[in-house]
Structure 1
Amino acid sequence: MAAAMVCQPIEEQPQCGGSVAGRSYKPQNRSMTHVNLMNNYFNPNSVYTEDDFRRRIRMRCHVFKRVLYDVHHINPYFQQKLDRVGRSGFLLHQKITVALRMMAYGSPADSMDEIHGMSKSTCLDTLAEFCNTIVQLYKEEYLHKPNQEYMDWLLHKAKDRGFPGMIRSLDCMHWNWKNYPTRWQ
């Protein structure tokens, strides 16, 4: 006869509650997720190489560091602060990585909880702040109306890749899609 398992009560820790009334708090080790991120990608002798970084974050590490520096100095949201219950907030690298991963992979905000320990609402706030800051920072340099020379270059590039007239036809309705869902036809 198997011995019955008895669950011993554990010492209860006080519940802080979420930062919004009615929401629960899930304890996350923010410092541990930050240390893991730094050891994986940014510290000397990182686990992953520059190529791994580029494949996973979808940009080169030096570009990431430039964006990190620029965003940090423009938007106070990306400076580490204490949260509403006095715990240290997320660090800059964590916030930028979450925003970029959500954009690079189209990841839902609630999927960031497991790896980065960041709640859905924090991820969405971070993504919105990041996007607004990037537009503010780089609008003049990168988000300008293209001139004719640039348009010609883009059309030539698209034609070389098999997409002639791509600028004029952004919806690409003239291309056949083998696996196009029948309910959309």
Structure 2
Amino acid sequence: MEVNDDSSASKDELINNNLLPVLSRTTQLILQNNASSSNIQMRNTIHRDRLEVEQLLIRHYFADDSTYGHTQFRRRFRMCKGLFMRLVGDLEMNYPYFQTTWDATNQRSFSALQKCTSTIRQLAKGYNPDSLDEYQNMSERTSHEALENFCYGVVQMYKAEYLCRPTSTDIQLLYEAHEARH
């Protein structure tokens, strides 16, 4: 029994001499980290005048006497203005992401028109989401979110009508077009 008492005493001594200081220091570090993480940290934000940018976009492409006509619109968006406006309207009606909202600081979100313009520019011209910041004042993250939500929304809304299986006639026409081209 004395052996057990000695080994028990040596274990207590080992814990007191070695482990307790380490645990104490670890606890101090954790408390310091928690105290510093509870401090309010300000994010660097860029003021983006979304309303002004939307008005510029409307003047450039969507007003009756727009700066750029139908030809430039079609070249830059790779679709006619009517189809684009139909997509914008359908997405805005069916998906909350495309509806204009206000955040906690009472700042207006980007409109459906701005989000769809960003998306089509990415799809039609292969723009990087970050490259849209200068013209549309839209961050890379917002541009990327708009792209994801646009693609999801278009597929969900139009898949029954436009994404159906090809018929045998459709397949035959595809083969003929391929043979004529190649």
Measured against the shorter chain, the TM-score band is 0.7 to 0.9
For 1:1-185, list aligned pairs within 5 A. 23-160=43-180, 162-163=181-182
Structure-2 separation of matches of 1:101 and 1:159: 33
CA offsets 1:98-152 (integer angstroms, 9 cap, x no match): 0111111121111110110000111111111111000100001111111110011
AA of the residue aligned to 2:138? M
AA of the residue aligned to 2:143? C
Structure-1 separation of matches of 2:133 and 2:87: 23
Structure showing greater radius of gyration is: 2
**Structure 1 segments of 4 or more deviating over 4 A?**
none
Q: CA RMSD in A?
A: 1.4
Moved more, 151-160 or 65-74: 151-160
TM-score normalised according to structure 1 size: 0.73
How many pairs are equivalent?
A: 142
Structure-2 separation of matches of 1:114 and 1:84: 25
TM-score normalised according to structure 2 size: 0.74
* SS in structure 1 of the partner of residue 149 of structure 2: helix
Q: Give the deviation of 1:22 after TM superposition.
A: 6.7
Structure-1 separation of matches of 2:141 and 2:43: 11
AA of the residue aligned to 2:62? F
Q: Give the deviation of 1:30 after TM superposition.
A: 1.0
Percent identity of the aligned residues? Answer: 33
Structure 1's unaligned 5+ residue stretches are 1-20, 164-185
